[in-house]
């Protein structure tokens, strides 16, 4: 080991460490990362940190690496889901323009997440040396802010993690305090930098919360428009639905047509003149069979087609789309308001 050992800049109390060790969800994350580490061809630690870190320091780096992985994963999943919802809301949009689906602070938060996830891809995947991953947090202002936001949102985004619903992760507020201490004690950043980064982190946290809300609204709007589009693609469903209601409903009372009533009066007069044929014609129907069938059939079919046309007219007046639309936001000069 080197004469100048390299240690983690983060300090976690014994109480918080014990709480993590008792949490089943966090232990599941640690087991997964440990199996991933054992499956790597290269050693877990790079050559520098193999020489300069003791076994105890390496275990501490592993613990802090696992914490960073756990709190960053929900932000990655949120960005992934927001991108999918944006492409559904804006068909044909480029992946680089997904931010157009959002507005206000949510748009800024999405753009910021997309930028840092693209630039720091190798880091947040946490597949390299645990010590390198932990020390990289203090490498730049965006990485410090990223971890700070992840700590502040650790309780809000737990539903995005692919863990058992009964296995709830603990709050990582303690790591936010550890991050503050590391920044204040760092010789490059110093004590005066932290108030500024904390303000930026809390502002970005509010934007991420707005992004979550707008994602839920957009997803609901896309699903609703998709269901309406499916009904428009099958207009015969209106007739089938109305026909079922007509057949299962009450019997419709039929009225004789004017032609039938005139024909009836004419038949009575003929009966008076042709008394000899009364007995022969006594049991014959007053109305011709074909005419009676037409009288019974026409009003019902007419009402069915009128109902179908009325439904289609109402859909047309409502402006229902043929495909999914973005939802409740109107586009104006390239922005969704």
Q: For 57-72, give the DSSP string.
A: HHHHHHHHHHHHHHHH
CB 131 within 8 A of CB 58: yes
> How far is it, in rounded angstroms, from Cα 9 to Cα 96?
36
Phi and psi, residue 155, nearest 5°: -85, -25
Nearest 5°: the CA angle 19, 24, 29 is 100
What is the pLDDT averaged over residues 19-46?
87
Q: Which long-range contacts (CB under 8 A, 24 or more apart) does 311-316 make?
A: 311/238, 312/235, 312/238, 315/232
- Domain segments of the chain as ranges: 14-231, 237-336
Scan for tokens 């080197």, then name that residue: 2
69, two tokens: 């992985």
Nearest alpha carbon to residue 150 among 83, 79, 214, 201: 201
Please enumerate in sequence order all residues whose Cβ is within 8 A of that of 244, keeping only pairs 6 or more positions apart, or say none. none
The pLDDT mean for the chain works out to 75
Scan for tokens 């019974």, then name that residue: 296
Tell me, what's the pLDDT at 272?
Answer: 53
E-strand stretches of the chain: 331-332, 335-336
Q: Is the pLDDT of residue 244 over 50?
A: no
Tell me, what's the pLDDT at 233?
Answer: 56
What is the pLDDT averaged over residues 68-85?
94
115, two tokens: 């930028």
Which parts of 90-193 fold into alpha helices (H)? 104-119, 121-124, 130-135, 141-152, 173-185
Q: Is the pLDDT of residue 248 over 70?
A: no
Select the more confidently predicted residue: 273 or 333.
273
Q: Is the pLDDT of residue 16 over 90?
A: yes
pLDDT 10s digits, 281-312: 444 444 444 444 443 433 433 333 343 444 44
Select the more confidently predicted residue: 85 or 42.
85
What is the pLDDT averaged over residues 193-203?
96
96, two tokens: 């680089």
Task: Please state whether 56 falls in left (phi above 0), alpha (psi between -120 and 50) or beta.
Answer: alpha
Scan for tokens 């780096």, then name that residue: 61
Computed over its alpha carbons, how large is the radius of gyration of the chain?
37
Tell me, what's the pLDDT at 169?
Answer: 85
Nearest 5°: the CA angle 253, 258, 260 is 80
The reported pTM is 0.65
> How far is it, in rounded angstroms, from Cα 240 to Cα 197?
63
């Amino acid at each position: 080991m080197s004469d100048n050992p390299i240690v983690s800049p983060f300090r976690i109390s014994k109480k918080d460490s014990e709480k993590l060790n008792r949490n089943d969800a966090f232990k599941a994350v640690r087991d997964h990362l440990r199996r991933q580490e054992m499956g790597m061809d290269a050693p877990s630690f790079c050559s520098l940190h193999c020489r300069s870190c003791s076994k105890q320091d390496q275990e501490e780096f592993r613990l802090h690496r696992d914490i960073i992985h756990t709190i960053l994963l929900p932000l990655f999943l949120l960005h992934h889901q927001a991108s999918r919802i944006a492409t559904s809301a804006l068909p044909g949009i480029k992946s680089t323009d997904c931010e157009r689906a959002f507005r206000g602070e949510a748009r800024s938060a999405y753009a910021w997440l997309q930028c840092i996830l693209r630039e720091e891809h190798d880091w947040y995947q946490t597949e390299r040396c645990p010590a390198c991953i932990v020390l990289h947090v203090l490498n730049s202002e965006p990485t410090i802010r990223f971890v700070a936001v992840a700590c502040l949102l650790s309780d809000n985004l737990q539903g995005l993690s692919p863990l058992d619903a009964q296995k709830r992760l603990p709050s990582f507020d303690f790591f936010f305090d550890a991050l503050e201490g590391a920044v204040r004690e760092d010789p490059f950043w110093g004590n005066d930098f932290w108030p500024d980064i904390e303000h930026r982190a809390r502002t970005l946290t509010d934007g991420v919360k707005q992004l979550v809300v707008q994602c839920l609204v957009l997803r609901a709007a896309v699903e609703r428009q998709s269901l309406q589009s499916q009904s428009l693609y099958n207009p015969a469903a209106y007739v089938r639905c109305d026909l079922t209601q007509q057949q299962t409903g009450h019997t419709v009372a039929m009225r004789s047509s004017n032609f039938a009533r005139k024909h009836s009066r004419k038949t009575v007069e003929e009966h008076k003149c042709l008394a000899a044929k009364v007995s022969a014609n006594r049991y014959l129907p007053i109305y011709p069979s074909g005419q009676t069938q037409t009288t019974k059939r026409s009003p019902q079919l007419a009402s069915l087609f009128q109902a179908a046309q009325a439904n289609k007219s109402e859909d047309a007046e409502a402006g229902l789309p043929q495909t999914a639309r973005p939802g409740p936001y109107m586009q104006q000069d390239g922005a969704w308001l």
